[in-house]
Amino acid sequence: MTSPVDLEPERSSAIGPRTQSVRCEPPDANGIAGIVLDRPDDSVNAVNLDVIDGLADAIRWIRSARPRGVIITSAKDGQWVAGADLKLITQATNRTQIELASRRLQSVLDELAWLPCTTVAAISGAALGGGLELALACDYRVASDTPSVVLGQPEVNLGLVPAGGGTQRLPRLIGLERALDLILTGRRLDARRARRAGLLDEVVHPAILEQAARAWAAQPRRSLDRPLRIGLSMASAIDFAEQVPAGRRLMYDRARQSVLERTHGHYPAPLRALEAIERGFEHGTADGFAAEARAFGELATTETARNLIWLFMATQAARRRGGATVSALGVVGAGFMGAAIAELGAAAGLPVRIKDVSTQAAARGLASATRLVHNGVSRRRFSQREGQAITRRMSASTDYSGFARADAVIEAVFEDLTLKQSVVRDLERVVSADALIATNTSAIPVHQIAQGSVHPERVVGMHFFSPAERMPLLEVVRPDAAGDEAVATAVALGARLGKTAIVVRDSPGFYTSRILGVMLNEAALLLGEGARLEDVDRALTNFGFPVGPFVLFDEVGLEVAQHAGETVTTAFGDRIPAATVVTDLVSRGETGRKAGRGFYVWPAPSRRPRWLQGVLKAGRRMANPFVYGTTPRRDLPESEIQDRLVLLFVNEAVRCLDEGVIESPTDGDLGAVLGLGFPPFRGGPFHYADSRGAAALATALRDLEKRHGQRYAPAHSVVQRRTFFEDQP
C-alpha cells in the first residue's frame, strides 16, 4: 500500500454545517482503545466531511496514545456505517470539490491502515460503500450475526465508484475475481456469506461482539499480502491466475464483456471502477487511488449519477410516509398473487390468514407462499430460522375465521367486478369497524368495487405488480369516497411489506397501466404499419428498457394485456385507436410465452439438466408469422421507433399529472421506473422530459401529431413549457 504522505491532498472545503461525529475512548487495562462513530445530526452514520475529519483527529490521537489495539464501533444500535452522505455530492458545486473529498477520505483511511497498532472493525449493522472501506482499512473485521449486517460496495447502483480506496483494498483482501463481482454489480452479502468470501474474520452473536473484537485487537497486525493457495481447486487456480498478467487480463476482459452485456453501455460507473482496479493492479496502488478519485469526481456530476441518486433518495423518502400500524393481515384469494402478498406480510412480521373457496385452493395457496419462503432462504434473503418463523406466521382456511383479528385485509381474487364486490361485502360483515379493506386490481375502478359497501371510506386499491415478491412498486388507488386514514394505512402497510408506494387517483388504468397501455398499443400499431417485432423490441432495449414491448406482451400474458388495453382504449378511444392484433391472438389461444406462442413463437422449456443449460444454448424465439399477415415488412429508423413509443409514454404521464391522477412528478417517475422498467439512468419520464427540454419536447410531439394523429397532441403542461424539476442536471 502507498504511504499516507503520498495520498495527503489539500483539505477540501466543508459542504454544509459541521458537527462532531467521532469520539475516542482511552485504552483500558489491556491497552485496547476505541473509536466510536455517532453522528448526532442523523439517524445513521453516513460518511460526510465531519466524519472524515473526526476520523483524522481520532487517528492522530491514537498515534499519540500508542494503544495496543483499537476497536471501531458504532454508538447507534443495530447500525455501523451505511455509506456516504449523498448531500456531499448533491450539494457540491463542481467535480473538483467532489474529487478532493474522495482524496481526503482515501488519505484518512490510509492513515488508519498504517497505524502501528492492531485495528478492528466491530460491525453491528450495514457496512456499505464508505462504511465497508472503513472496515477494509482495519486489520480485522468482526460482525454480529444479525439480519441488519450487510456488506458491499453498491456505488455503481448510484452511478458512482467506490471513493475511499475500495477498488484497491477489496481485491487485495478477497481476490480479484470476487472483488470484481461485488464492485461491478453492487451486490451485497450478509454476514455469513461475507465471512465465506473472506470479508470478515469472524461472525458472532451480537451479545459477544465487543468481546470478540477485543480478542482480535490483542492479536498482531495482519499482513496485507494474500497468500497464494497451491492445489487443484478452482479457488487455487483463480489465485494463480491473479499472479500473472495474462491471467488478470483475461479477468478484466471477461468482466468488461459482462458489464456491457448487462448495461448496454448506458451505465459508465462499472467500467470506470474496472479501470481503477486495473490501474491499481498493473501500475501500483497510487495510480489506482488516483484513478478512483478522478472517476468518482467525474461520474458524480453526470446526469446518470444525478438521476440515480435522485431516485434512491426519492424512494427512501416515499418509504418513510406514515400511517396507522397494521398488526395482523388477511388475504382473500390464494392464487399466485395472494400467496405472494401473504409471504410478504409474514416476512414483515405479521400474522397472515389466507382464505379461498375450497380446501384444495387454500392448501395450494399456503404451499405457494411456503415455497416463496424456501426460495428466500435459498437466496439468503432469510436465514433458515427466519424462514421457519415466517412459515409459522401463515395459516389458511375456507371461511373468514380469524379475519376478525386482522386490521387490514387485501383481496386478490380474479379480475371480476361482481366477485370483488361480493368479497368486499363479506369482509365488512366479519372484520372490525376500522379495518382497512384493500382490493388488488390493475384496471377495475375501485369505486365500482366499493359500490354497495357500508363503509366505502375504508376501501382502497392496492395494486401489486407481478411477481409481487420481487417488484418494488405499490400503487395505492384512492377513490373519491376513501378516507385519508385508509389511504395512509395502505401506504404504511406497503412500506412495511418492503414496497415503495405512490398514491394515484381512481381512474381508468390508474397511472402505470394507463401509460404502459398507450405505449404497448402504439407498438402494436407500428406492427400493423410494417415494423418488425425484433426492431421495435431492440429499439426500446437500446433506449434502456429491460425488455421490448412484444416480449413484455408475451411475458405478462396476452389475456391480461387485452383486459388492461381495453380499459385504456375504452376510456380514451377518442384519441387512442385500438390495435386488434392482441384480441386476434387471444381468440386463437396464442396467449403468450406460457402458451408457447404469442407475438413470438417460444422454444419449449429445456429438459436438459440445469448444469447443461448454460453450456448448450436453447432455441431462440421467432416472430409469429400470424402477426405479420400479408403486410410487407419495412425498415424504420431506431430513433423514430423510440420517439413514437417513448414520447407517447412521457406525454401520457404528463397528462396524468395534469389530470391529478398522480400527485407529483416524483411519484410519476417512481411509478414508471419501479413499476414499468423505465430506464433508471434517465430518471423517469418527467426527468427525461426536462432533459429533452420543454420547447424541444413540444416541437417533437407536434410533429408526431401532424404525422400520426391526435394521440400525440402535447399535454397541457408540455404546451405551457413546464419544467418539472427545477434542479434538473
Catalytic residues: 475
CA dist., res. 624 & res. 533, Å (int): 9
Quick one: cell of 573? 378511444
3-state SS track over 94-160: CHHHHHHHHHHHHHHHHHHHCCCCEEEEEECCCEECHHHHHHHCCCEEEEECCCCCEEECHHHHHCC
Helix (H, G, I), strand (E, B) or coil at 200: coil
Count other C-beta atoms under 10 Å from residue 695's C-beta: 10
CA dist., res. 383 & res. 378, Å (int): 9
> From residue 467, how far is each of 344, 404, 519, 702 by CA, in Å?
11, 28, 21, 38
Helix (H, G, I), strand (E, B) or coil at 353: strand
**Which segments of 379-497 does DSSP mark as H helices, in order?**
384-392, 417-430, 446-449, 484-496
3-state SS track over 560-604: HHHHHHHHHHHHHCCCCCCCCHHHHHHHCCCCEHHHCECCEECCC
Q: Which residues pair with 488 in a beta bridge?
A: none
Task: Tell me which residue of 546, 548, 580, 576 sits closest to 562, measured CA to CA.
Answer: 580
Contact 458, 437 (CB under 8 A): yes
CA dist., res. 580 & res. 598, Å (int): 14
**In b/e form, how buried is each residue of 437-473, taking b as 16+ CB within 10 angstroms?**
bbbbbbbbbbbebbeebebbbbbbbbbbbeebbeeeb
Contact 459, 486 (CB under 8 A): yes
Q: CA torsion 658→664→667→672, rounded to 10°?
A: 30
Quick one: cell of 699? 416541437
The single residue listed with the C-alpha cell 401473504 is 342
Quick one: cell of 99? 474529487
For residue 431, the surrounding DSSP H or E stretch is none
Q: How many helices (H) and strands (E) does the chain have?
A: 33, 20
CA dist., res. 313 & res. 306, Å (int): 11
